[in-house]
Amino acid sequence: MIRSSQSDPFLSTEAIHNLRDYGGYSAADGGRVTTGMLFRSGHHAEATETDLGTVSDLGLSHVIDLRGDSERARHSCRRPEGFEAEVLFFEGETAGLAPHLEAAEGSVDAVSAHRAMVELYGALPDRAGLNWILKQYFAALAEGQGASLVHCAAGKDRTGIAVDLLHHILGVHPDDAMHDYLLTNHSPRNEERIAHGMQLMGGKYGAKDEASMRVLMGVDSEFLDAARRSVRERFGSIDAYLAETLGVDEARKARLRERLVA
Domain boundaries, the chain: 20-260
CATH 3.20.20.120 fits 20-260, yes or no: no
**HSE-CB of 111 using CA atoms within 13 angstroms:** 0
Cα gap 149→65, rounded to integer Å: 8
Burial class (CB in 10 A: 0-12, 13-18, 19+), 29: exposed
Those residues of the chain that have pLDDT short of 50 are 2, 204-205, 207
Q: Strand 20-21 vs strand 38-41: parallel, antiparallel, or unpaired?
A: antiparallel
Give 198-234 pLDDT, tens digit per residue.
776 655 445 457 888 889 889 999 999 999 999 999 9
**45 with 77: CB under 8 angstroms?**
yes
What integer pLDDT is reported at residue 209 of this predicted model? 77
Which member of 139, 152, 166, 172 is catalytic? 152
Cβ count within 10 A of residue 178 = 19
Q: Which residues, other chains included, contact 136 with Cβ-Cβ below 8 Å and sequence gap of 6+?
A: 64, 88
**154 with 185: CB under 8 angstroms?**
no
Task: Determine whether 152 is an active site residue.
Answer: yes
Q: Which residues, other chains included, contact 159 with Cβ-Cβ below 8 Å and sequence gap of 6+?
A: 40, 41, 66, 150, 151, 152
Give 33-47 pLDDT, tens digit per residue.
999 999 999 999 999
What integer pLDDT is reported at residue 201 of this predicted model? 62
**Which of 239, 69, 77 lies closest to 155, judged by CA?**
77
What integer pLDDT is reported at residue 214 of this predicted model? 87
